[in-house]
Structure 1
């Protein structure tokens, strides 16, 4: 209900003037301009007297028929820096609306506009309601308590409040607190990244929606922006584990840990990989506490945690390292081909795989062949076109997640021909060896005969006897044939 003093103010004003009265409601967000309407038909040819007043403070602004202007004590131009004005250029049209710049919570209330034109008095009553969203801390630290409240001054009876965050309905985890449902509605939460953005309080009142907004930024780790973010790396490659705090935020006692599953799913610290390095680069800012692994192994997969102390509050961020590799196998039924399989230690976010054949010429120019879809690809090892690098790219719903490569050596395609060549070469070597042995035997026999004749020629008489005996033997053999 309308406060008693407002009601009395309106009734007294109405009874004393016996004027034609109209009540209007105006809503304005804190910091904006509010226009309190006071319009009537053009009043010619006289210049009217105008009085704007507020129920709890009295005169706001008035102008006499002589043209002199006066401001209330708290509305003086020296105090308010001319926050209020009543544009004279519109008087001829019967528009005596009051403009209030940069409205504040205390500006809310009941105003009256009294226009005196001769013996005619026109009265307008305007209720100005100021909507405002306030945050207990505009830049709270991650993990601290934060409260976002919605106020409408004066509060409209029967109004209800709902919240949106970044234009989406917000469902609070701890509920909405209200102070009797009359002065404010507030959301109380622990500060996390999900609270960052533009908060809008929507007040439903008499079929209308009254809105007020405020921006909220949570200080802490901004990259990665949420817990359990996955970082992808190929076996043997280097990878950076990001841990970047808000600009200008320097954490004390920064610590990196590798987590291992513990009892009741609570992670406990484990041993960091041997290639892990948290040493800062010279060009890094103090707010960047990222770490790196120089050479990723399959055993390095798992969850890692970066933490640091900010204003006495421990701020942490968990992330998961996913390791990718390519498994090669030779099907038993197709020995001339090779099957490549893209394997990840966690493929829960992968929606698609594709294979790309990459070649480099003598000048180092890179060329990409056709793209094949699927987790596996079959490659012919004897084909000249398949040598070189094969890359497996894996994608998520927001685009590419990472890639891993595999090299097929140029000589691997000749493995089938090489075995046949070896068998032919073996047969040729055996044949050549046999011919060489025969030749050596012949030469040995010739040398032996030569040596024997050489020994005989040293004794001529013996040579005559041997020759005579040989002739006689031949003569006897001929005679046997004749007989």
Structure 2
């Protein structure tokens, strides 16, 4: 029991006297009821006595000092503060049971006792009157008190700290794989004469998890990886203790599809975060891995049927083997990086791409990445004659999500290059009569806010329309050229006939002599 000095004894005497005065000297109210019955007088005296006893208990409790609860984990550093408002000109004595730990005098001097320094090696220090216990150990849990004295024997205030142990364990030791059992235990010592605290756990996202007396068992997922927090409520306060959990999992899949086109690159992400080594993955019993592709319905003759693209071959040097060639390449050759790329997308790239790693005990890591292709359709075709009607459509083959929009970028020579922005943010528009200035590259961009997700380009070729005079001129030139050719052929034929006739007159056939032949006359 804390030491009570002279001042404390005086206070107790005054309190006892006050109780006696109240008991034997009725107040004016009581004097006005002298004619009351003995039963009424007895009830009134009992009421006064009870109130006085309660007052005495309050005074004794105040004199004896307050008790505070402190929860700590083994290895944690805690700071115990003296009573609030303690003047630096008062004496402080820190004790653990009968062992004096540290002191501070009214001149600012302080120290750790020799006996405490031997028992609590390099664990104790004072800072502004507060006692600091570094890296608390099993033997340090218990009661520590701080006594405030005005002189050597005059006790001004006392505070007692009950240091209770808080133990947090994670079973089994991490890292874990998704699907494995994870057990978290938070055990807080029960304060004397109080109920055991109703502890609970907060997951790495800060959400409260239902548990049974501080014990929580779950099937591990990627979201369980991180810092878990055990919360111990007590005395209108709470103590928090952390436990680290590591779950090996693939990086989260993109929250929206990956967009590509035949004019922009294709990238399909899937990988194990860099802070996990391949040695850790091997230690968890990896069996293999693969990539599958399921085409979007209607985008391919084999829509809906999975195609195996790559397989992971294990060995001294793990490598990815190509099963089906879609001109896709692995971004890196590291076994834990499964990201696929191609310089340009294709119209048949739409669908679901699934990367999977297989482990022992039928445990798997897998992610599905959806890919959509942006396309432009031109009607009637991409080669037109000036004056024809043109219909252009850009899209993904379904209505766009509310946070996405399209933007057309026509050639600078087109009349639509100066059109209002709203006219160029539609998926479809019609040009009643195209001109030669509308020829060139038309670009359609898919945007989220101001970020371009992908784009596609189409090239239009517009030939000038032929007028009536141009047709007349072309026909006239054609006729003239035709007549000139006829005349040339006629002249050549006449010259050849005349040459043949002249040759016949100069030659004759002779009968004698007998040998046959032609002879010059």
Q: Please tell me the TM-score bracket, short chain as reference.
A: 0.5 to 0.7
Distance 1:269 1:401 in 2: 27
| Conserved 8 A contact 2:259-2:374 | yes
Shift of 1:199: 4.2
Name the residue aligned to 2:375: 325
Contact 1:198 1:215 (8 Å CA) reproduced = yes
1:393 to 441, 445, 450: 445
What is the CA RMSD across the aligned residues, in angstroms? 5.0
- Equivalent-residue separation in structure 2 for 1:441 and 1:383 (angstroms): 46
Secondary structure at the residue paired with 1:425? Answer: helix
What residue in structure 2 maps to residue 220 of structure 1?
249
Moved more, 34-43 or 68-77: 68-77
Separation in structure 2 between the aligned mates of residue 239 and residue 383 of structure 1, nearest angstrom: 34
Match of residue 256, structure 1, among 281, 291, 300: 291
**How far off is 1:33 after superposition?**
4.4
Give secondary structure in 1 for the equivalent of 2:348.
helix
What is the CA deviation profile of residues 363-386 of structure 1, one whole-angstrom value per residue up to 9, with x for unaligned ones?
A: xxxxx9875212224457744543
Match of 1:85? 125
Partner Cα distance (2:92, 2:455) in 1: 79
Compared with structure 1, are the counterparts of its residues 378 and 384 closer, same or farther at alpha carbon in structure 2 (3 Å cutoff)? same
| 2:392 maps to which of 340, 355, 364 | 340
- Which runs of 5 or more structure 1 residues have no equivalent in the other structure? 1-11, 91-95, 361-367, 445-483
CA distance in 1, matches of 2:372, 2:80: 62
Residues 326 and 206 of structure 1, relative CA distance in 2, 3 Å threshold = farther
Shift of 1:164: 5.2
Q: CA deviation at 1:97?
A: 3.0
Q: Cα 1:436–1:335, aligned 2, differ >3 Å: closer, same or farther?
A: closer
The change in CA–CA distance for 1:440 and 1:347 in structure 2 (over 3 A counts) is closer
Aligned 8 A contact 2:295 2:349 in 1: no
1:113 pairs with 2:146: yes
CA 423–277 in structure 1, closer or farther in 2 if over 3 Å, else same: same
Conserved in 2, the CA contact under 8 Å of 1:261 and 1:268? no
Equivalenced residues, count: 391
* Cα distance in 2, alignment partners of residues 261 and 108 from structure 1: 65
Partner of 1:290: 339
Q: What is aligned with 2:176?
A: 140
Is the 2:261–2:344 contact (alpha carbons within 8 Å) kept by the matching residues of 1? Answer: no
Aligned to 1:34: 78
Seen in structure 2, the aligned counterparts of structure 1 residues 72 and 135 have a Cα distance that, compared at 3 Å, is farther
Compared with structure 1, are the counterparts of its residues 295 and 268 closer, same or farther at alpha carbon in structure 2 (3 Å cutoff)?
same
* CA deviation string 1:210-229 (max 9, x = no partner): 5445555532222xx23775
Q: Secondary structure at the match of 1:392?
A: strand
8 Å CA contact 1:275–1:294 kept in 2: the answer is no
Q: 1:48 to 1:163 in 2, by over 3 A?
A: closer
SS in structure 1 at match of 2:253: coil
Where does residue 455 of structure 1 map in the other structure?
Answer: none
Structure 1 contact 258–271 (Cα < 8 Å) conserved: yes
Q: SS where residue 426 of structure 1 aligns?
A: helix
**Are 2:273 and 1:246 equivalent residues in the alignment?**
yes
On the 8 A contact 2:270/2:355 being kept in 1, the answer is: yes
Pairing 1:195-234 to 2, within 5 Å after superposition: 195-202=224-231, 205=234, 207-208=236-237, 210-213=239-242, 216-222=245-251, 225-226=252-253, 230-234=257-261
Q: Closer, same or farther in 2 for the Cα pair 1:162/1:344, shift >3 Å?
A: farther
User: 1:472 corresponds to which residue?
Assistant: none
SS class of match (2:462): helix
Q: Is the 8 A contact 2:296 2:350 kept in 1?
A: no
Residue 95 (structure 2) pairs with residue 52 (structure 1): yes
Alpha carbons of structure 1 residues 269 and 134: separation in structure 2 relative to 1, 3 Å: farther
CA–CA distance in 2 between the matches of 1:103 and 1:405? 69
- 1:106-163: CA deviation from partner (whole Å, max 9, x where unpaired): 8665432245643334431123467776654554334433345555555784855666
Shift of 1:403: 1.9
Question: Could you tell me how far 1:234 is from its partner in structure 2?
Answer: 0.6
- Measured in 1, the distance between the counterparts of 2:220 and 2:393 equals 44
- Matched ranges for 1:310-389 at <5 A: 313-330=363-380, 336-344=388-396, 349=401, 351-357=404-410, 372-378=424-430, 382-389=434-441
3-state SS of the aligned residue for 2:336?
A: coil
Determine helix, strand or coil for the equivalent of 1:416.
coil
Q: TM-score, normalised by structure 1?
A: 0.62
Preserved contact between residue 436 and residue 463 of structure 2 (Cα < 8 Å)? no
Shift of 1:170: 2.1
Q: What's the counterpart of residue 275 of structure 1?
A: 326
The structure-2 alpha-carbon separation of the partners of 1:381 and 1:149, relative to structure 1 and needing over 3 Å to count, comes to farther
Stretches of structure 2 that go unaligned for 5 or more consecutive residues are: 10-59, 298-303, 310-323, 494-521
Whole-Å Cα distance in 1 between the matches of residues 235 and 269 of structure 2? 50
* 1:141 counterpart SS class: coil
Change (3 A) 1:101 1:402: farther
In the superposition, the TM-score normalised over structure 2's length comes to 0.58
2:200/2:208 contact within 8 Å kept:
no
Match of 1:468 in 2: none
> 1:232, 1:322 within 8 Å by CA — same for their partners in 2?
yes
Q: Distance in 2 between matches of 1:423 and 1:29?
A: 103
Select the structure that is richer in strand: 1
| Residue correspondence of structure 1 range 446-457 to structure 2 within 5 A | none
